[in-house]
Structure 1
Amino acid sequence: MTARERYNFHLEEMKKAALEIDPAVRFTHSEEYLGRPENPLAVMIMGRWAKGRYEGDGVYAGGSEWCKQTRYNVEMLDTTVGGEREFSVIEIGETDRTKWMTLAEPNFEAFIGEKVSAS
Structure 2
Amino acid sequence: MTGAITALLLCQLTGEVLARLLHLPVPGPVLGMLLLFLILLARGRLAAGGDQPPEALGRVTDALLSHLGLLFVPAGVGVIALLHTMADNGWALLLAAGLGTPLTMALTGRLAQAVLRRWG
Q: TM-score w.r.t. structure 2 length?
A: 0.31
Question: Which one scores higher on RCO, CA 8 angstroms, separation ≥ 6?
Answer: 1
Select the structure that is richer in strand. Answer: 1
More helix by share: 2
TM-score (norm 1): 0.31
